[in-house]
Structure 1
Amino acid sequence: MRKGSLDMHLFTRTGEPLSWTLRGKILAGIGSALHYLHYEYDQKVVHRDIKASNIMLDSNFNARLGDFGLARALDNEKTSYAEAEGVIGTIGYIAPECFLTGKATQQSDIYAFGALLIEVVSGQRPGTKVNGFQFMVDYVWSLYREGSILEAVDKRLPNDYDTEEATRFLMLGLACSHPIANERPKTHSIVQMLAGSLAVPHVPPFKPAFVWPATMPVDDLSQATSIDTILLAR
C-alpha cells in the first residue's frame, strides 16, 4: 500500500497534516470494511485489533483494514470469541467488558472503531493523557458536556474543516465508545451516520457507568480481572 499506514500520516509524517477531506474518506472506508466483516462476509468476523497502524492506504488514500492476525470467524449461531490467553488487543481500543469476559464481539470491534474515530479527528492516540484524563474518550466526553466538543479537533488542521462533520464524527465516536455494549450502534447505522444520512443517537452528557453484562454466565466470573484493571480500562 503506497501511502503506508494511517498511523504514519497522523503521527510520524513530517510536513502538511492529513487533510480533513482525506480523514473523512478514510473513516468512511473503514466503516464500510467493518460492516462487511460483521454482516456481508460468508461468516461473521470480529477483527479484534482495529487501530490506526492496522489501516493501510493506497495511492489514492483509499483505506484498507489490515492485519487479520487476531481476527476470528464466528459460527453463525455464535456472537463472541473467547481467547484462552486473556484479553487481546491494544489499550485504549479495548472495550471495558472484554476485561471481564475475555471475549471479543462485534460490539467490542465497534468500541475500537469509536476510539479510532476520536483519534482521527483529534490527532491524538486513544491512550493520550489530557487535562487529567487517562484516555482521550474521557476528555472528549468532558468537552461535549461543556458544549465545546470542537476543541478536540486536531490543532494542526486549518480552520476551514467542516465543523458539522467534525461534531458528528466526535459524537459518533462517543456513541461507539458507550461503556454498555448493547448501547453501541451497529455497523449499518455507522456507515449512514458517517455519510450524514442518519442522525447520531443520543449521547448522554455524562459518561455512563460500566454495567456488568447481563448475558454473562456466572461461570465466567473466574475470567474477571481485578477491579483496578477494570477501572483502568474505563
Structure 2
Amino acid sequence: MNNSVKSHKEMKNDGHRTEKDGYGNSPLGLETRQFTYIELERITNNFRRVLGKGGFGNVYEGSLEDGTQVAVKIRSKSSNQGDKEFLTEVQILTLIHHKNLVSMIGYCKDGEHMALVYEFMSEGTLEEHISGKGNNAVCLAWRQRLRIAVESAQGLEYLHKGCNPPLVHRDVKATNILLNAKLEAKIADFGLSKAFHHNDDTHVSTNRIVGTPGYVDPDYQTTWRATSKSDVYSFGIVLLVLVTGKPPILRTPHTISIIEWVQQRLAQGNIEGVVDVRIHGDHDINSMWKAAVIALKCTTEALAERPTMTDVVAQLQECLNLEEELADGGSDSGIYNGINSDDINWTDDAYSTNKSTNSSQRDALETEHNFDRVPTMDTGPAVR
C-alpha cells in the first residue's frame, strides 16, 4: 500500500466515504483503498491503454495522483467470474504480502462496476515473453528464465507455507506470472484461490473444476480435491514451458502434452532437443537438464511423489547457482555430465514419471532424493 493510504488510516474516520479523496472505511471491512468508477476513468485516461485481457476482463494502464503507475483490471459484462471470485481476490490480496506476489493498491465495487487496482508490472506476462507475442516481449536468456522460475516458486511457497491458513492458487500458469522492469517475477490472479479450513487439512474440496487446460492437475480433475500439490503440478508445466519455449499442449501434428514431448527426448539423452531453440549465449547444459527433471518430478501422477514448493525452490536455486558459476568465469563443455544422487535429492526412493513413462525413460531420469531444507521466505507483514 502507498504511504498516503497508511497515513489516512492513522486519522480518525467517521465511517463515511468521501468522493473527494477516495478513501474511507471499506464496505467489505478491508483496510485498503476503495476507488469509484469515476476515479478509475480518470486514472486510466478513460481506459485508454489495454495492457492485457483475461477471463475477468481487460487490464488497463493507469496513473495515481502522485504519478505512481498502476494496472486496473475491470470486470467485463461477459465475464464468467462473478462477485465471489472478485471478493476472493480482493480479500486475499489485502491479507498476503510477499515480494513475489503482485501487490494490490485498491479496488472498486461501485454499483455493477468491479475492478482491482494493483502494482504496475511493465514487462507484462511470462507467456508474452515465451510466445514472443507481447508488445515488450524479448527472448529470455536461460539465466533469466531460471531466476523467474525461482522467484515464482518462492511466491507459491509462501502461499503454501507462509499463509495462515495456507492457500492453494488453483490457476498457476505462464499468463499469471508477471514481470516488472527488472524482469522480477510475481504471481498474480488470485480469484480462484482457496484457503484450507485448518492448517492440518490436506485438500480443499470444490464443486467445480477450475484452471486452464494443459496446466490442470489430472488428480484434481479426477477427485475434485485441490491440494498444494495441484499447484506443484501446474508449476511443473510452467517450468517445462520455460525450458522448451513451447505451450502446454502441442500439436505436432498430433496432440501431445508437453510432459510426454519432453519425456520422449530426455529418455534418449537429447536435452538439446528439448531446450528452446531461441535461447542464445552461454548456459550450463546440466542446469537445463536438472530443471527439466525437476519439472517432470512436479508433474508425476502420484501426489505423494511430487515435491513440495519448498523442495522445488531449493533445487531450482541450485540450477541457478550453476549458471551463476558459469557467469563468474566457469566453462560449459556443452556435454551433459549426468544427474546423480548428489545433484537432485528427493524424499522418495526413486524418480517416477507419469504412468505413460516407459522403463527407458525411468532409466534416463531416475534419481534418489533426500531433503532437509528449512523454508526461508521474504514474507513481509504477517497474514492478518
TM normalised by structure 1 equals 0.82
- 2:127 match: 7
Greater RCO structure (CA 8 Å; 6+ sep): 1
Quote the offset at 1:143 in angstroms. 1.1
- 2:355 match: 208
Q: Distance in 1 between matches of 2:254 and 2:127?
A: 24
* Alignment pair present for 1:114 and 2:236: yes
Q: 2:249 aligns with which of 112, 120, 127?
A: 127
* Alignment pair present for 1:78 and 2:201: yes
Q: Distance in 2 between matches of 1:176 and 1:127?
A: 17
Quote the offset at 1:160 in angstroms. 2.4
Q: Which amino acid aligns with 2:123?
A: K
Contiguous gaps of at least 5 residues in structure 1? 211-234
- 1:97 match: 219
Taking only aligned residues, the RMSD between alpha carbons, in angstroms, comes to 2.0
Moved over 2 A (4+): 13-16, 129-133, 159-162, 200-204, 206-210
Contiguous gaps of at least 5 residues in structure 2? 1-120, 320-342, 358-384
- Aligned residue for 2:265, secondary structure, equals helix
Q: Which amino acid aligns with 1:9?
A: H
Q: Is the Cα–Cα contact under 8 Å of residues 179 and 209 in structure 1 kept in the other structure?
A: no
Q: 1:148 aligns with which of 242, 254, 270?
A: 270
- Aligned residue for 1:97, secondary structure, equals helix
Q: Distance in 2 between matches of 1:157 and 1:28?
A: 18
* Alignment pair present for 1:199 and 2:344: yes
- 2:294 match: 172
Q: Distance in 2 between matches of 1:118 and 1:159?
A: 20
- Over 3 Å counting, the alpha-carbon distance change for 1:119 and 1:97 in structure 2 is same
How many residue pairs were aligned?
208
- Over 3 Å counting, the alpha-carbon distance change for 1:130 and 1:152 in structure 2 is farther
1:27-63 CA-to-partner distances (Å, cap 9, x unmatched) read 0001111110101122210000000000011110111
Q: Distance in 2 between matches of 1:173 and 1:23?
A: 13
Within-5 A mapping of 1:62-73: 62-73=184-195
Q: Distance in 2 between matches of 1:128 and 1:209?
A: 17
Quote the offset at 1:104 in angstroms. 1.0
- 1:38 match: 160
Structure showing the higher strand proportion among its residues: 2
1:188-232 CA-to-partner distances (Å, cap 9, x unmatched) read 11111001186154434x64359xxxxxxxxxxxxxxxxxxxxxx
Q: Which moved more, 1:126-135 or 1:153-162?
A: 126-135
1:146-189 CA-to-partner distances (Å, cap 9, x unmatched) read 11133111011125222111111111000000011110011111
Quote the offset at 1:83 in angstroms. 1.9
